[in-house]
Amino acid sequence: MTLTSQEILHRASPQKIDGKTNEMYLRQIKKTIDRDETKFSVWSGTSSSLADCSVMCLHKSNCVSLLYDFTEASCKLFDVIYNADGSVGAEDVVYYTLESSNNRRVPESCQDLVIFSGAKTDGEYWIYPKATNGQRIKIYCHDMQFIPSEYITLRNTNYFIQHDQSNWQLKYIQCQSTIKPPLKTVHFSKVKINIQNMEIDGNDYQFTSLTGSPTVEYGQSTDCNGESFRNPCPRFSEAVIDTRGTGLIVDPTITWGVISGWWAKIENINRSTDGAQISFICTGWCGECGPTSGPIILQPSKEYISATDAKALVCDLDSPALILPAIIIP
């Protein structure tokens, strides 16, 4: 295990629990924890030393981090890991997170929850993906009774419009002022991700509401009302991405532009300062716009998301709860 100059590794004294000798290593990190968060400890009380506090954590099967105050001799145990922000708090207060253990770890996927903690209910859980370097992410685990998959719940409007030839009132006439309904639109309430790389599956319509029969992907929009240089020319396409409330943003290195089309152009592209909101329209005859540098990748933002917003479970490596059924391909 590699340590930086700002990190300290602490070994909790081995303890015999249920007939097995268990131990864990805790890593001290730089973190200022919101005072409200300390109310959500799974146990709190006095402890004579950091070592004793660590032993208490070892005996609590759902403990994965702790906060110890040397001045007050107080110990708080948590079932979540708070992300490091690099800040320096009071010197007499230390925060440690689970580095390794021979009987527990935090879940890296919804499948981990099913196998190692016996979770069977769909819902919001705290997951610590390798793709985010173990930073805590609020994930909606879907289909937990069978083959679980990961989704991000979108708290704000995310929609994408697909204007095409089916909306023409008159065939092959550009810049028509009205459309033939329906204007194909997809609203996403949740978006599926690949937990291994945080890549959005834009074709997954599991949690969407549809107008018409759209095929547009998350993050894309199409317009077929006229070549981009024509003006005036009504435009009916629009794409709106809004990840506020998720603790995530779209990777800021992703570029946006024309994917395909004749005399197509992306216009009115806007991105909020915090990176959580992106919007644009597409023009062309016909034009398709969206990410041009590759798939949409999500990454952690600096947004505060309370630990109470999702369920915290810890993986018990000693007792796998379930072996997932094999998928047989004929």
- Can you tell me the distance from the alpha carbon of 38 to that of 23, in angstroms, rounded to the nearest whole number? 25
Q: How confident is the model at residue 330 (pLDDT cuts 50, 70, 90)?
A: very low
Note whether 38 and 76 are within 8 A (CB): yes
List beta partners, residue 126.
138
Q: How confident is the model at residue 329 (pLDDT cuts 50, 70, 90)?
A: very low
* Cβ-based neighbours of 329, under 8 Å, separated by 6 or more: none
Give the model confidence (pLDDT) of 147-172 as tens digits. Answer: 999 999 999 999 999 999 999 999 99
**Which among 160, 176, 159, 156 has a CA at the least distance from the CA of 168?**
176
Lowest mean pLDDT among 37-51, 209-223, 228-242, 285-299: 37-51
Give me the phi and psi of 57, to 5 degrees please: -60, -40
Which domains does the chain show, CATH number per domain? 8-103 (3.50.4.10), 154-300 (no CATH)
**Averaged pLDDT for residues 97-120:** 87
- Can you tell me the distance from the alpha carbon of 303 to that of 247, in angstroms, rounded to the nearest whole number? 5
- Identify the H or E element spanning 279: strand 277-283
- Can you tell me the distance from the alpha carbon of 25 to that of 110, in angstroms, rounded to the nearest whole number? 24
* Cβ-based neighbours of 170, under 8 Å, separated by 6 or more: 176
- Can you tell me the distance from the alpha carbon of 242 to that of 233, in angstroms, rounded to the nearest whole number? 27
**Averaged pLDDT for residues 175-186:** 94
